[in-house]
Amino acid sequence: MKSTELLTRGLTRENPVFVMLLGMCPALAVTARVETALGMGILVILVLTLSNLFVSLVKDYVPDQIRVPSYIVIIAAFVTMISMLTEAFAYDLFVSLGVFLPLIVVNCIILGRAESFASKNKPIASMLDGIGMGLGFSLALIIISSIREVLSSGTIVFGEYLPFFATPGDVTQLIAGVNVSDYGIAVFGLPAGAFLTVGLILAIRQGMQVRKEGASA
């Protein structure tokens, strides 16, 4: 398989969240704000790339019966390292992700890719697959969180959790004279709103697919 395909197939055709329905917990839980969703996406890309690389390197030495526990330990080790780094360099993100940071260990996408791709392929291809699937997951989180944050507060705030924005602010400051923050729909910021948003996105995707099949038939 070509490396460009490994990198891009996670974005649309095999998107882990919208198509394969994996990793729903973080996709619903940390998407009230775009910034936390982006942070979660970056961390998952890192963990997925590293764990895919290592699983692929050790795959020939691990006995088949204890495959899954061994992969879980590899993943847990990387998650622990990444979460310590997050605590040191992006403390606000660490606090706002809370328990969902250690829960990356049980994100089905990571064990799923280790089991279905990295344990059967070469190290470089597995790394690329990890980056590609991680990007697809991040894209899904950003789509969900953009809809939720705009609808719940009328704006997108940046610079609060992630350290790489020079000046904190929000996007409505970029458009002069617009004040939409008075018209927020609070439910989209609550847990219930996450179910509604993802349900509607899945319906739109299904509608697009049905239409495409109808056009080609």
Q: Which residues bind another protein (CB under 8 A)?
A: 21-22, 24-25, 28-29, 68-69, 72-73, 76-77, 79-80, 83-84, 98-99, 102-103, 105-108, 111, 187, 190-196, 198-200, 202-204, 206-207, 210
Considering the complex, state which of residue 15 and residue 83 has its C-beta at the smaller distance from another protein: 83
Considering the complex, state which of residue 7 and residue 108 has its C-beta at the smaller distance from another protein: 108
- C-beta of 27: minimal distance to another protein in Å? 9
Considering the complex, state which of residue 1 and residue 81 has its C-beta at the smaller distance from another protein: 81
Considering the complex, state which of residue 155 and residue 188 has its C-beta at the smaller distance from another protein: 188
- C-beta of 1: minimal distance to another protein in Å? 26
DSSP string of the chain, one letter each residue:
--HHHHHHTTTTTT-TTTTT---HHHHHHS-SSHHHHHHHHHHHHHHHHHHHHHHHHHTTTS-GGGHHHHHHHHHHHHHHHHHHHHHHH-HHHHHHHGGGTGGGGG-HHHHHHIIIIITTS-HHHHHHHHHHHHHHHHHHHHHHHHHHHHHHHSS-EESSS-TT-SS-EEGGGTSTT---GGG--GGGGSHHHHHHHHHHHHHHHHHHHHHHHHHH-
- C-beta of 189: minimal distance to another protein in Å? 12
- C-beta of 94: minimal distance to another protein in Å? 13
